[in-house]
Structure 1
Amino acid sequence: MNRPIRTLLFSTLYPSEVRPTHGIFVETRLRELLKSGAVETRVVAPVPWFPSTAARFGEWARIAATPAHERRNGIEVLHPRYVLPPKVGMNVAPLTLALGARSTVAKLIRDGFDFDLIDAHYYYPDGVAAALLSKWFRKPFVVTARGTDLNLIPAYALPRRMIRWTAQRASGSIGVCAALMDVLRDLGADPARLHVMRNGVDLVRFAPRSQETCRARLGLPVASRILLSVGHLVERKGHHLAIEALDSLPDVHLVIVGDGEERARLQQLAAQPGRAGRVHFAGARPNAELADWYSAADALILASSREGWANVLLESMACGTPVVATNIWGTPEVVAAPEAGELVQARDAASIALGVSRLFARYPDRAAVRRYAEGFGWDPTSQAQLSLFSRVAGFSGPGGASHA
């Protein structure tokens, strides 16, 4: 009997009503895949257990307030709890994550959702936990690597061994850029089971808007050059370098969209002589609002130390705004043409400022930037997923008859 492929998406990186932007790139890829009509999915997105929702506990309190069950964009999402003990959490997380989700997965099967495969996101600990669930429930699994899970965590001996073990057992490993799959290949994974499936961009949500109108709506200077830096306020995103770059960029303003642990330090940097009044902190903004901010800017700055495939680059370009970014991991696969923007080789303020100056000296036509981004729609990635999932599940084709 013909039916959709049934997948269980498993990841700690998935939005919830209390953290609506957390892991939104995982949700976006799933939503695009579901448009095919060839897949039916349930999401199990575990969150660490925490005993209190009292506001004084900050982010942990927000995590504790995550509902056990919710529907997001028509998708059923379950949030079982798992134990993440201090100090040893990194090494035991795969096991506690799998144990915490085990009864939830079993109930899904009992209730009639006997899925064909596990679609896990983030190699460690999520992918390793998925490998354990795969063994317990006798289901095949695939894992998507997204960045830090493979460009940082394998530096630790025990996690590296567990990543290697998982890669050997996965029916397929997916990387959002080729550099991530190179890591698995170097760890001994079978090259035949390594696949590059880049993230796409929503070309409807992210489309050019009037720069003047957006600046007026957002309360930004109309006549100045404006740079934009988007992401969590953490060191690896490099917002501090964007601020420091202003010293070499007179009359340029910087807008920072995001929130996080570095906010106070960044505000202190922004208040220093020569920068005061030129840095605007917009806070965290919903993904649906970002097109206004991209359209208002003259360029996006991404000064990250680590990235797999940075969605903000494509979102910005889809709005017609070119980028200046550090030349790391998957970024050169995104910024691969002059109209896209500039790559900088060194991660420091001087290099960022020089990249901005080079871009402004040959500023590309914004319509050309948009056309470049249009080559990164979601359809090729969705079709590649369907092809892989069909093979793994033993289907004759996407949505076709099961051989099982």
Structure 2
Amino acid sequence: MKLLTFSTLFPNAERPGHGIFVETRLRHLVASGQVEARVVAPVPWFPSSAARFGSYARFAKAPAKEVRSGIEVLHPRYPLIPKVGMTIAPWLMAQAMKPVIRKIIAQGYDFDLIDAHYFYPDGVAAMLLGRHFNKPVVITARGSDITLLPQYRLPGKMIRWAADNAAGVGTVCEALRTEMISLGVDAAKVVTLRNGVDLELFRPFAGADARAAMRAQLQIKGFTLLSVGNLAPVKGHDLTIGALQHLPDASLMIAGSGPELQRLQALARELKVDDRVRFLGPRPQSELRHYYGAADAMVLSSSREGWANVLLESMACGTPVVASKVWGTPEVVAHADAGVLMQERSAAGVAAAVQALRAASTERAATRRYAEGFSWDATTQGQLTLFRRILGKDH
């Protein structure tokens, strides 16, 4: 099978962690030997010299083309109007991608199916392109594209149109599948294809001595929490910082970057816990695994999550988690060996869950064994089954 994977959520040399979960899933799928893939990962056009665009200017630095894990990835530009272009974004994206895809086909890669990720604007644009090139489209819902965007009238209408006309719909958790069905999408069309975890990359240290050595190298002392994710309000880092007031012997490391950095630093000072909070900045997965393994618990206080990969990454390193009970997270943290779900999403609720986790004295080996049930094999097989069914029906 020849796939064209289509999504703005895909890493590039300038933003290597952006949408890495889409790349990881595709990499495992291609490794099956059953599919060939090319990637079109549209990037908003912005002049690199336009400092007034702030973070948007970073998009301009993405390469036009690169090869990642042996897969050819194109980053063609499309026009994006910040703040006011939300309703026309799918159309603008699709129009800009038509000549790109026409060239791909002309050069000999006449793909069988468009594999799109994130419903808006990506999935809607993919559906427009599928209609134009007469190709079936599968769209995978990943989180806020279904939990938040359908609340807006026009995007919601376009999301439902894309779902109704797609050959198949995937979701990364059962909670998102249920939500899609509640939006009126045919239940028979929606398949849950949960994310897995790279069990080779994310693994425990080889013994207590190795873990102690890494803790010393990372300057970690005493009971230490780790929080990983964008420094954005949805991630709830402020609640995790606030929990330190109730956990006097605990320290916190936060890995990630984003617009909330200065506010979170100010909050830590205001609460007089800044001496126990370390902002690590963004870290590549090759480094992040050491922090996971060295921490005593991973905390995720998000208000929304489709399927939080960081939870499985932590568990695969043997570190149990504390997480808020939102969307797909209870499907990830479904056993005591995995960790504890907060009873209340607040600073006090975070602290109470951390205390419960400490009292449980979960064995790190048991947490690793739990994570081993989430390899990518089942997801890869689920995708192959879905794609074969669609192509068998269409041809």
* TM-score bracket for the superposition, by shorter chain length: over 0.9
Q: Give the letter for the 2:215 counterpart.
A: R
Equivalences for 1:180-191 in 2 at 5 Å? 180-191=176-187
Q: Which of 302, 305, 321 is 2:303 aligned to?
A: 305
Show the counterpart of 2:216: 216
Secondary structure in 1 aligned to 2:270? coil
Deviation at 1:55, TM superposition (A): 5.7
Partner Cα separation in structure 1 for residue 29 and residue 264 of structure 2: 38
Partner Cα separation in structure 2 for residue 202 and residue 273 of structure 1: 37
- Compare relative contact order (CA 8 Å, sep 6+) and give the higher one, 1 or 2: 1
Show the counterpart of 1:162: 158
Partner Cα separation in structure 2 for residue 27 and residue 55 of structure 1: 29
Q: Which of 233, 237, 240 is 1:239 aligned to?
A: 237
Equivalences for 1:195-344 in 2 at 5 Å? 195-209=191-205, 210-221=210-221, 224-272=222-270, 274-344=272-342
Secondary structure in 1 aligned to 2:8? coil
* Deviations 1:87-110 (CA, angstroms, capped at 9, x unpaired): 431111110111111111110000
* Deviations 1:300-322 (CA, angstroms, capped at 9, x unpaired): 00000000000000000000000
Moved over 3 A (4+): 53-58
- Could you tell which deviates more after superposition, 68-77 or 317-326? 68-77
Show the counterpart of 1:134: 130
Partner Cα separation in structure 1 for residue 203 and residue 268 of structure 2: 30
- Could you tell which deviates more after superposition, 208-217 or 173-182? 208-217
- Could you tell which deviates more after superposition, 310-319 or 77-86? 77-86
Secondary structure in 2 aligned to 1:206? coil
Deviation at 1:58, TM superposition (A): 3.7
Q: 2:245 touches 2:271 (CA, 8 Å); kept in 1?
A: no
Partner Cα separation in structure 2 for residue 53 and residue 336 of structure 1: 48
Q: Which of 33, 50, 61 is 1:37 aligned to?
A: 33
Q: Which of 59, 79, 83 is 1:63 aligned to?
A: 59
Partner Cα separation in structure 2 for residue 118 and residue 377 of structure 1: 24
* Deviations 1:116-147 (CA, angstroms, capped at 9, x unpaired): 00000001111100100000000001000000
Show the counterpart of 2:70: 74
Show the counterpart of 1:153: 149
Partner Cα separation in structure 2 for residue 16 and residue 87 of structure 1: 24
Partner Cα separation in structure 1 for residue 49 and residue 381 of structure 2: 41
- TM superposition score normalised by structure 2: 0.97
Show the counterpart of 1:361: 359
Q: 1:238 touches 1:302 (CA, 8 Å); kept in 2?
A: yes
* Deviations 1:249-306 (CA, angstroms, capped at 9, x unpaired): 0110000001111111111112235413100111100012111000110100000000
Structure 2 CA distance for partners of 1:270 and 1:211, relative to 1, 3 Å: farther
Secondary structure in 2 aligned to 1:277? helix
- Could you tell which deviates more after superposition, 186-195 or 142-151? 186-195
Secondary structure in 2 aligned to 1:250? coil
Secondary structure in 1 aligned to 2:275? coil
Q: 1:305 touches 1:326 (CA, 8 Å); kept in 2?
A: yes
Secondary structure in 2 aligned to 1:324? strand
Question: Matched residues, percent identical?
Answer: 58
Partner Cα separation in structure 2 for residue 87 and residue 267 of structure 1: 27
What value does the CA root-mean-square deviation take over the aligned residues?
1.3
Q: Which of 4, 7, 10 is 2:3 aligned to?
A: 7
Partner Cα separation in structure 2 for residue 272 and residue 166 of structure 1: 47
* Deviations 1:130-186 (CA, angstroms, capped at 9, x unpaired): 100000000001000000000000111111111111111111100000111112211
Partner Cα separation in structure 1 for residue 50 and residue 385 of structure 2: 46
Q: 1:53 touches 1:65 (CA, 8 Å); kept in 2?
A: no
Partner Cα separation in structure 2 for residue 56 and residue 286 of structure 1: 28
Q: Which of 90, 99, 111 is 1:115 aligned to?
A: 111
Q: 1:8 touches 1:44 (CA, 8 Å); kept in 2?
A: yes
**For structure 2, which runs of at least 5 residues remain unmatched after alignment?**
none
Secondary structure in 1 aligned to 2:185? coil
* Deviations 1:196-219 (CA, angstroms, capped at 9, x unpaired): 010000000000013312212212
Partner Cα separation in structure 2 for residue 53 and residue 41 of structure 1: 34
Q: 1:11 touches 1:45 (CA, 8 Å); kept in 2?
A: yes
Matched residue count: 391
